[in-house]
């Protein structure tokens, strides 16, 4: 399911009435229809999204310990106008959007998580290339939290075409959703098996409009920021044949968290995602040519700066994206940036560099990742057979030395190859 950070406005009354009543469809003599929405430059639409979540989340507690199951309840609403722009590079997509409403609230156990986007930077450019999405605002720097709101949203120029068929279809005809659309709807970084199937169920008239009804369903197993998981999805979509626009998408799903070793279910979250879309007859004033003229709509060193702002500490400063890697390279610790599959929080908070990505990533199991997230400012350097462990920018009293040494020793044991760890335990 798309993450709770994406959300939108309540479904319009006409759609609620129609869907709730079981909208009749007609085969019309098995006539074929074409379902295609063209995301050309200047195509513009309004998006309203709503997400609700409820379930239990498994929190790793370390080796040989059962994960802690915490109740999760979340709701979010999000509304924005979006205009398609000419992409800067081949095989990429680009839009500019302006958020009208952003609300996000989630409780994990007793912890309340809120997120939003400041009014001053609610106009954003979103670029999707190489299966990655990069938002920035031409009006000012974003925080990591604001980027995360956009990053976990469904990107319509990718999701919508991927749900629609490649050619004309008849009632009852089915086709697979594209891998890109599956990734957008599930937030999967890697799909190991399964997929989504879409079925055309016929056409009906509503308020003088011809609406094609689609059904989608399937089970997908893979890895996202929650680690290994399986998602079972059932949904309905409506396509306006006259406006040539997918106007409604509702997906209900069960998100099962899986143990990475045994494959057993360790938690489950039920979610409901509802998105309504309407065409914009004219460009909103803040997305018009006149409003965008003179703005930097291509990413550069200035408009991709990140903002760190902690009012409680009275700390506020700007820093460039990728600064950790450049700093490491400057002191001779360069290499390929490595991401740990399924560990998005770790990947956001730490920069992992090394020559052999697979070998390095294999060292960072669930327990070591949890330790790094728990021990803030932890730095690990391994070279020439030696391991250096320290806490960047921290000073601690002598009485904490034993505890710090215990953490360093634990890191060493977790990083050691199995044979070395066994030998160490016998000495």
- Where do we find the tokens 């974003």? 142
Paired sense of beta strands 209-224 and 111-115, if any: unpaired
> d(Cα 407, Cα 390) in Å, to the nearest integer?
10
Q: What is the pLDDT of residue 26?
A: 53
Q: What is the pLDDT of residue 56?
A: 84
> d(Cα 208, Cα 261) in Å, to the nearest integer?
55
Helix, strand, coil fractions of the chain, as percent rounded to 5: 25, 40, 35
> d(Cα 34, Cα 29) in Å, to the nearest integer?
15
Task: Answer whether residue 8 shows pLDDT above 60.
Answer: no
Mean predicted confidence (pLDDT) in 395-414: 74
The three-state secondary structure class of 51 is strand
Could you write out the DSSP letters of every residue in 367-392? HHHHHHHHSTTEEEEEETTEEEEEET
The distance from CA 416 to its chain's CA centroid, rounded to whole angstroms, is 33
The three-state secondary structure class of 150 is helix
Secondary structure element (H or E) that encloses residue 352, with its range:
strand 352-354
Angle between helices 401-415 and 366-374 (to 10 degrees): 150
Could you tell me which residues come within 8 angstroms of residue 278 by beta carbon, excluding any fewer than 6 positions away? Answer: 45, 46, 245, 247
Task: Answer whether residue 203 shows pLDDT above 80.
Answer: yes
Task: Answer whether residue 10 shows pLDDT above 50.
Answer: no
Residue 163 — very low, low, confident or very high, per pLDDT cuts 50/70/90? very high
Domains recognised in the chain with CATH numbers = 13-282 (2.30.230), 322-426 (no CATH)
**Tokens of residue 170, six digits:** 């008849």
> d(Cα 172, Cα 27) in Å, to the nearest integer?
9
**Tokens of residue 97, six digits:** 């959007």
> d(Cα 244, Cα 237) in Å, to the nearest integer?
13
- Where do we find the tokens 């000495």? 427
**Tokens of residue 424, six digits:** 């160490």
Torsion of CA 354, 359, 362, 363, to 10 degrees: -60
Q: Are the C-beta atoms of 192 and 160 separated by less than 8 Å?
A: no
Q: Centre a 10 Å sphere on the Cβ of residue 44 and count the other Cβ atoms it contains.
A: 18
- Where do we find the tokens 């059932």? 234
pLDDT (tens digit per residue) in 274-320? 999 999 999 999 999 999 999 999 999 899 998 988 787 777 888 77
pLDDT (tens digit per residue) in 78-136? 999 999 999 998 889 999 999 999 998 888 888 888 889 999 999 999 999 877 788 99
Task: Answer whether residue 237 shows pLDDT above 70.
Answer: yes
């Amino acid at each position: 399911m798309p993450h709770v950070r994406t959300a939108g406005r309540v479904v319009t009354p006409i759609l609620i009435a129609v869907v709730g009543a079981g909208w009749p469809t007609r085969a019309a003599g098995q006539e074929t229809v074409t379902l295609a929405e063209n995301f050309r430059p200047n195509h513009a639409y309004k998006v309203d999204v709503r997400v609700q979540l409820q379930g239990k989340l498994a929190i790793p507690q370390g080796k040989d310990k059962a994960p802690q199951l915490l109740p999760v309840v979340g709701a979010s609403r999000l509304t924005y106008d979006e205009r398609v722009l000419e992409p800067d590079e081949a095989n990429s997509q680009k839009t500019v959007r302006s958020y009208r409403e952003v609300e996000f609230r989630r409780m994990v156990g007793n912890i309340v998580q809120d997120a939003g986007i400041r009014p001053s930077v609610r106009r954003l450019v979103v670029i999707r290339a190489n299966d990655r999405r990069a938002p920035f605002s031409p009006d000012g720097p974003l925080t990591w939290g604001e980027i995360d709101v956009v990053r976990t949203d469904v990107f319509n120029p990718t999701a919508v075409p991927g749900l629609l068929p490649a050619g004309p279809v008849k009632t009852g005809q089915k086709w697979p959703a594209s891998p890109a659309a599956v990734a957008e709807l599930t937030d999967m970084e890697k799909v190991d098996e399964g997929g989504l199937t879409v079925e055309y169920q016929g056409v009906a008239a509503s308020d003088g409009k011809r609406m094609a009804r689609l059904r989608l369903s399937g089970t997908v197993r893979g890895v996202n920021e929650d680690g290994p998981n399986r998602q079972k999805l059932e949904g309905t979509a409506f396509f306006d044949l006259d406006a040539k626009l997918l106007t409604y998408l509702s997906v209900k799903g069960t998100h099962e968290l899986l143990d990475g070793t045994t494959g057993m279910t360790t938690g489950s979250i039920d979610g409901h995602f509802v998105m309504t879309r309407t065409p914009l007859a004219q460009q909103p004033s803040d997305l018009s040519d006149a409003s965008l003229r003179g703005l930097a709509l291509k990413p550069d060193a200035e408009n991709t700066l990140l903002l760190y702002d902690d009012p409680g500490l009275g700390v506020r400063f700007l820093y460039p994206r990728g600064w950790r890697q450049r700093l490491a390279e400057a002191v001779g610790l360069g290499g390929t940036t490595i991401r740990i599959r399924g560990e998005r929080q770790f990947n956001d908070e730490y920069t992992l560099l090394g020559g052999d990505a697979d070998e390095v990533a294999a060292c960072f199991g669930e327990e070591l990742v949890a330790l790094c997230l728990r021990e803030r400012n932890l730095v690990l350097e391994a070279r020439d057979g030696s391991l250096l462990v320290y806490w960047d920018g921290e000073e601690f009293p002598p009485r904490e030395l034993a505890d710090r040494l215990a953490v360093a020793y634990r890191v060493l044991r977790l990083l050691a190859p199995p044979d070395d760890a066994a030998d160490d335990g016998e000495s």
